[in-house]
Structure 1
């Protein structure tokens, strides 16, 4: 793919915005609407392509101001999967937290907005399964304009699992105990609620609730450890 190419007869590639092992993201012009979109083109083949296609289908079913908006998806002329989403300006929550923790009021606002968006996904029987600060995007840097990103490992509650039981996907520090213990086959929306709680703890305290020298140490704390009291770390937080 090169700048100037037109994907799907609609999206003109303007600039490469980022790349990684799984794909490339371009800033592109939607010739139909005249707006800018983020166009992701997946590379390679196999299960990660299937997850990419599944994310595209999930997003096409969701319509909520707190979830990044799906524009279109399909295949390029060379057969690669692509997904066009609204172009967002701002920063993700992980970058915001590098500069310092949030106020109580900001944390409450973020929690309500993110929970409302999750409720929409859960009502359509989708579990995100990887909610974390880097998947919460603050449009124009505004807490009240948070949007949930990356449904790439989301799964419908009635769908056939794409991973073996016991094979973990997601980010360990934000995993619910059942997620850390048995993998993903038995997950419910409660796993996302747990992850959101971990995010809100981090917003208030300025550090993740579960930390360790390695992944097994983190998972052990999730399964067997005691959650630190927020008020012991930040006394002004209301009970």
Structure 2
């Protein structure tokens, strides 16, 4: 599974693991794996555990093999002490359900999820090879053309989620994974749907994982309305995606501060800096697209991820004909 930074109740602000996992945990915050979980163990009668990728407060993530297919997998296993915690179990299963529902190439494939015969709650997904965007940015700002390619794929995935009434709520560089297919082409995967939510609450769902007014997300990539605890829609993810692409372009996020209070004030009350001043060699179309997406008022942003993607290009190489249904 791929690395995810701390959420509101986990590892916010910590540097994540750079291993090839999805929704894994920072290896810098390892704790003992769940009791009974050892290298060589079999989860759900088919997933053989071969190595520990990461572990944290709520779950451990293992690399292994699906013995039925021979595929490499990442298996996220809820810690034994939380096996009877209805909220944690619901969140784990909710994440698998969301990924299956979106069913887009930009979301990792779920092989299985549930409770195995040993009472362990788990999700098994494809194991990715590559690195997250945060790791790539650590080496310096990315070429604008590459940022556009990453942006188009990221926005296509968000558009697929939004079309199903789902907002991610935690788009950040650590959750954007840069993988390669068998031909060597870049394949961007959006990770960690653990705090994703339906835009319209499903009345049939008995489980409420978050409450109105509760701030969920990662500080530097939370939209102004997310900071304010207001209802969110697709435009909040558009803001976060723009903040991620801004960071990839210049190497730092659009807003920063020494404390969360000051950061919140800057995000909610001031305009984001324009890329025009930071990367003047980049064409105005690219700059204007990011600037608009980072508008404080959602009404001033691109209406959705599809609209932003159609406008996102650099130089004369505009990409309008995206394969949204691939």
Q: Give the Cα separation in 1 of the matches to 2:258 and 2:225.
A: 21
1:196 aligns with 2:241: yes
Give the aligned CA root-mean-square deviation in angstroms. 1.7
Q: Give the Cα separation in 1 of the matches to 2:273 and 2:53.
A: 39
The one of 78, 91, 96 aligned to 1:51: 91
Aligned position for 2:158: 118
Note the alpha carbon deviations across 1:161-201, whole angstroms, 9 max, x for none.
Answer: 52232221110111111111125xx2111111110010111
The structural deviation recorded for 1:80 is: 2.7
Judge which range, 210-219 or 39-48, deviates more: 39-48
Q: Give the Cα separation in 2 of the matches to 1:75 and 1:162.
A: 20
Alignment of 1:119-158 (within 5 A): 119-140=159-180, 144-158=186-200
Q: Give the Cα separation in 2 of the matches to 1:65 and 1:92.
A: 16
Aligned position for 1:96: 136
Listed as ranges, the gaps of 5+ residues in structure 1 are: none
Preserved contact between residue 66 and residue 147 of structure 1 (Cα < 8 Å): yes
Which secondary structure state, in structure 2, belongs to the residue aligned with residue 116 of structure 1?
Answer: helix
The structural deviation recorded for 1:47 is: 2.9
The one of 10, 33, 38 aligned to 2:69: 33
Aligned position for 2:212: 165
The structural deviation recorded for 1:143 is: 8.2
Q: Give the Cα separation in 1 of the matches to 2:110 and 2:263.
A: 34
1:83 aligns with 2:123: yes
The structural deviation recorded for 1:42 is: 1.2
Equivalent residue pairs, number:
237
Note the alpha carbon deviations across 1:56-79, whole angstroms, 9 max, x for none.
Answer: 111122222211111110113332
The structural deviation recorded for 1:232 is: 0.8
1:181 aligns with 2:228: yes
Q: Give the Cα separation in 2 of the matches to 1:140 and 1:96.
A: 14
Listed as ranges, the gaps of 5+ residues in structure 2 are: 1-36, 203-207, 285-326
Q: Give the Cα separation in 2 of the matches to 1:31 and 1:114.
A: 32
Which secondary structure state, in structure 2, belongs to the residue aligned with residue 54 of structure 1?
Answer: helix
Alignment CA distance shift 1:206-1:143 (3 Å): farther
Preserved contact between residue 106 and residue 143 of structure 1 (Cα < 8 Å): no
**Structure 1 outlier segments of 4+, above 6 Å:** none
Note the alpha carbon deviations across 1:126-176, whole angstroms, 9 max, x for none.
Answer: 110000000000114978311000000001223365223222111011111
